Each structure stands twice: as C-alpha cells, then as structure tokens.
Amino acid sequence: MAEARAEIVANVWKLVASVGDEVAVGDVLAVLETMKMEIPVPSPSAGTVIEIPVTEGQIVQEGDVIAVIE
C-alpha cells in the first residue's frame, strides 16, 4: 500500500483519479492549487486507488494524504 501526499499547503483543485481506478507510477491523481500554480500529485506506485480522503475545494497541509494506492 502506498500513499500519495500533498507536498505543499494547497487547495484541492481537481481530483483526476477515482476510487477503483487502475494507475501506473507517475499518473496524476489530483491537481492542487497554491500560489496560482497547478501542482500535480503523481501516483507513487502502480495499483488500484482504494481511498481518496479529500474532496475538491478542500485545503490540505503539507504531508496530508491525497490518495491511497494498493
């Protein structure tokens, strides 16, 4: 199991992946928005997205889990 985490405090702008999706390493799971920049959140491993604990528009802190991959 691997977790994709926010690398910076940001607003969750867009969720790209959904629970149940098959993803490869580096696939963009979500896009964060901070300082007027779009920050992609890549998948740290290949597998199935089993959990996305955030919603669009939510503020996340550095290190918060964006998605869980199994």
C-alpha 66/C-alpha 48 separation (Å) is 14
| Interaction between residue 8 and another protein (CB under 8 A) | yes
One-letter amino acid of 57: G
Give the residue with the Cβ less far from another protein, 10 or 17: 10
**30 burial via Cβ count (<10 Å: 0-12, 13-18, 19+):** buried
Is 1 a residue that touches another protein (CB under 8 A)? no
- Distance CA(51)–CA(39), nearest Å, equals 20
Q: Which stretch binds another protein (CB under 8 A): 20-28, 31-39, 48-56?
A: 31-39
Q: Is 40 in the site for another protein (CB under 8 A)?
A: yes
Q: Counting contacts by CB under 8 A, is residue 57 touching another protein?
A: no
- Does 11 bind another protein (CB under 8 A)? Our answer is no
